[in-house]
Amino acid sequence: MAKKRSALPKKRPNSDLPPPGHPIDDVSRMTSIIPPRPDEPNAILEKLFGKGKTQREVIASISQSPPRQQAPSPPRPPSPLDHLHQTLLTIFIAGDQSASVVFTTLKIVSLEGRTHITLLDHEAAACSMLGITSLPWNSCKLAATLVLLLAAPNDRDIMYSALKNQSRSMGGLPTMAMINATPPADLPARFAKAKKDAIDGKLGKVTILAVTLVDVEMIERGEVGGKPMLYSSFAHAFVLGVAREGWRLFQSWGEYGYTLSEWLRGGGARLRGWEEGKRFVGAFRGLVEARGKWTQQVNDWYLECFEVNILRICGKKGPQKPIVPIYRPGVRIFELEDVKVADIEKFTWYD
């Protein structure tokens, strides 16, 4: 896994906010943004030309510099993808238990089509968590749902769809009827389009792709019956964010993988370049085109994409049950187009 990043500092936007440790403080932190501190003009000049130079020396330095040397551009404001990443880090800054209360609060208000969070909403979420240490943040479905809910616009139907996408109780998980009626989604094509939308045009668009790698064999066994179910599944959900500056991967993976907070702290959601994106999409293409059995090649593709070694976890000496003997992958994608910073900042709170 990539080198761990240190936790970001807390931000206190104004003195009216509750002190650290207050229960509503988690919600207030979630909606905050830590803007970059602009450099002082004098500091820029000193960095470029050295401290204590006269105006004449500065002008001479400029005239002797190669034409391509220019003063640095002003700091770039956070893009929606940067802001999404920052918001997730902030949610988990106080730990998984605090993040669990935040997520439950967001779910409560979103199901009612609201984005304003009251103290009563937060108390209701805390009461629903009584006796529960934390939500299972190693669940890829839970991780994907949080990312989708944060990135969704302030639209009741879309927020509901974001919650439903990975929810069995809400009817969002695939069934054999859905699988047979719908061709598998094409991630390489959708990623290419998202990249084109991001780098073309004056502003560029940010696209969020929530991808589910479906285990068709295990779904069929569960619905039809008659075949043993005592196997591990390779099914996985993850979220890709694609922007002009690059792309990010948000995910968690099971009991023997990593939680969402571990993935974030370890740099898994770092900004990645297009060459790495090409390798990721290529490995994923190999995963979805393979059929038959779980081979070493399939394992390598899975490891490339998700940093999980299935053969080690589900092998003869592994801690989990053997992987399903028949490999039948499918793919579905839930997309949010043209995500804005305002979408991620839609949730607000008040006393």
pTM of the predicted protein model: 0.78
- DSSP string of 70-114, one letter each residue: -PPPPPPPPPHHHHHHHHHHHHTTT-HHHHHHHHHHHHHHHHTT-
63, pLDDT greater than 80:
no
Q: What does the mean pLDDT of the chain come to? A: 83
Q: How far is CA 125 from CA 146, 148, 162, 176, in A?
A: 15, 19, 19, 34
197: left (phi over 0), alpha (psi -120 to 50) or beta: alpha
- Rounded mean pLDDT, 268-285: 98
The whole-number average pLDDT for the span 194-222 is 93
More confident residue, 97 or 77: 97
